[in-house]
Structure 1
Amino acid sequence: MSYANVDGLNTYYETHGTGDPLVLLHGGLATADTWAGQVPELAKQYQVIVPERRGHGRTADADGRYTYRLMAAETARLLDVLGVSSAHLVGWSDGALVAALVAIDRPELVEKLVLIGQYFQPDGAHPAVAAMLADTAAMTAWARESYDALSPDGPAHFDVVVEKILRMWREDTGIPLDELATITAPTLVMQGDGDFVTVEHSALIRRTLAEAQLAVVPGTSHGLPMEKPALVNELILEFLGGEHSAQLIPLEG
């Protein structure tokens, strides 16, 4: 458990294990603890780096609005500060958008990419998501306890962070397909079969990317890394390790 100065922002991060770097990026209003079901297993083979973005967990907020591109830039700068020249990036929910933008803006930093449970345009969301997002209290109440316990800004700042995140969710509406198509890193797109994102959208993202695979985890919701950690870990490790079965009847040559 450490802190790094990222352009003046005292950024919390954890490192576990040894090996090639693997960065786990949490979702909106979440913390490094999101990955409790992944870290022990992944750290057997990789040096797992788990940062917390501005206003999340043990990293303080900073002046200014939130954007995904800002968070991607700060993630990339953290890797620079830590001396990490390239890494695998695994992002869940908002963390998947952040990971994708790092791969677009700093492609030299990304070896392989795992994008879990995120839509990249508004029409990729399940129709029920709009109503869920409209219920602000319900969408943010689950994060209150961990924020109060961990944030250096104190419990009174929670509503400030929530408003910044809600504005980002409303106004920072994703990544255009032509921009996603510039990602060169091999990518695993993963979602639950009852996720916020539609399977059709994830299939579109898989087709848009130059080199990608799609995994739909059965019996899971948006919380699939927490709900079926063993299966999620297996999919991540198989993808990162390159241990893929030969395709006997491929659609493409």
Structure 2
Amino acid sequence: MAGIVDIEGHPTWLEDRGGNGAPLLLLHGGLSNSDALLGTIGAGLAEHYRLIAFDRPGHGYTADTDADFHYSDMARESVSVLEKVAAGPAHLVGWSDGGIIALLVALARPDLVAKMVVIGTNYHVDGIQPVDMDPDSPVLQELGRAYAERSPDGPGHFEAVARKGMQLISTEPSLTTSQISRIQQPVLVAVGDDDIVTLPHTVSLYEALPNGQLAVIPGASHGLPLEQPGTLTSLMLPFLAAEGPPRTLMPVRRRAR
């Protein structure tokens, strides 16, 4: 099922691919869309899980609003999707902004979250390096092309959306490791070894999570789900399917658990 549903009073594009597996909500990155994940890592997950994805306002097939972008609003929209569509707790898989949203959902509504995979995710604005968002940059050109193909607002609105997106990542989020430590769900933290999220920041996210696991993917950037979807799903599937914490031969961090 794919189409427009009402989320927080706004017509929102949502896709529910059904299936008998546990629900898994894909949360796309900033200035991106659900197709970017459904068409990459989604291919490896669809056989095992009921995939659900939606385009946030100003992204993909969902029209923009006059409001600025804020992660708190995006998290609230995601909670509404989970309450309306998912039958019980769902796994959350978030890329970039989507990972930030997943963390916020877990803090606000832990009852709706089973396990999480956060990809190229910072919990504080200080955790990312400067991003080249010159209008002529290849990344912005590709994002603009994908936007023009989908947006009901038309290609000319992309400049306004990009401006709001850049404002968002330059001022938010502002979570602390103390807040992150309240997340009890198992979380796989995945990042490329050349990501815009700094490696020390990624490690601090992993270390703050009581039940975190860490994967640094060699030869990958912030575009990890697009660059190496097979590598990513090969790590995600056993993590999501595992029962209980990892059992290793020489535990150190997990020794007391």
TM score, norm. by length of structure 2: 0.91
Matched, 1:250 2:254: no
Task: Give the deviation of 1:6 after TM superposition.
Answer: 0.8
Unaligned runs of 5+ in 2: none
Task: Give the deviation of 1:86 after TM superposition.
Answer: 1.2
Matched, 1:98 2:101: yes
Letter in 2 for 1:2: G
Task: Give the deviation of 1:21 after TM superposition.
Answer: 0.2
Q: Is the 8 A contact 2:95 2:118 kept in 1?
A: yes
Deviates more, 1:168-177 or 1:107-116: 168-177
Match of 2:236 in 1: 236
Letter in 2 for 1:167: Q
Match of 2:9 in 1: 8
Q: Is the 8 A contact 2:124 2:172 kept in 1?
A: no
Matched, 1:34 2:36: yes
Task: Give the deviation of 1:247 after TM superposition.
Answer: 0.5
- Aligned-partner SS, 1:218: strand
Q: Is the 8 A contact 1:17 1:45 kept in 2?
A: no
Letter in 2 for 1:62: T
Q: Is the 8 A contact 1:4 1:78 kept in 2?
A: no
Match of 2:226 in 1: 226
Distance in 2 (CA, whole Å) between partners of 1:131 and 1:164 is 15
Unaligned runs of 5+ in 1: none
Distance in 1 (CA, whole Å) between partners of 2:131 and 2:40 is 29
Letter in 2 for 1:21: P
Letter in 2 for 1:149: E
| Residue correspondences, number | 249
Q: Is the 8 A contact 2:177 2:204 kept in 1?
A: no
Task: Give the deviation of 1:132 after TM superposition.
Answer: 2.2
Q: Is the 8 A contact 1:180 1:208 kept in 2?
A: yes
Q: Is the 8 A contact 1:118 1:196 kept in 2?
A: no
Matched, 1:116 2:119: yes
Match of 1:158 in 2: 158
Query: 1:180-195 maps to which residues of 2 (within 5 A)?
Result: 180-195=180-195
Letter in 1 for 2:195: D
Distance in 1 (CA, whole Å) between partners of 2:29 and 2:251 is 34
Query: 1:45-124 maps to which residues of 2 (within 5 A)?
Result: 45-124=48-127
- Aligned-partner SS, 1:45: coil
Query: 1:190-201 maps to which residues of 2 (within 5 A)?
Result: 190-201=190-201
Distance in 2 (CA, whole Å) between partners of 1:43 and 1:33 is 13
Letter in 2 for 1:132: D
Letter in 2 for 1:33: D
Task: Give the deviation of 1:131 after TM superposition.
Answer: 5.4
Task: Give the deviation of 1:17 after TM superposition.
Answer: 4.5
Task: Give the deviation of 1:174 after TM superposition.
Answer: 3.5
- 1:51-94 superposed Cα distances (whole Å, 9 cap, x missing partner): 11110000111121110110010011112122533100000011
- 1:187-235 superposed Cα distances (whole Å, 9 cap, x missing partner): 0100011111222222111110111100011111111111111110011
Deviates more, 1:169-178 or 1:105-114: 169-178
Q: Is the 8 A contact 2:184 2:210 kept in 1?
A: yes
Identity among equivalent positions (%) equals 39
Distance in 2 (CA, whole Å) between partners of 1:235 and 1:241 is 11
Q: Is the 8 A contact 2:118 2:190 kept in 1?
A: yes
Q: Is the 8 A contact 1:90 1:99 kept in 2?
A: yes
Taking only aligned residues, the RMSD between alpha carbons, in angstroms, comes to 1.7
Distance in 1 (CA, whole Å) between partners of 2:195 and 2:183 is 24
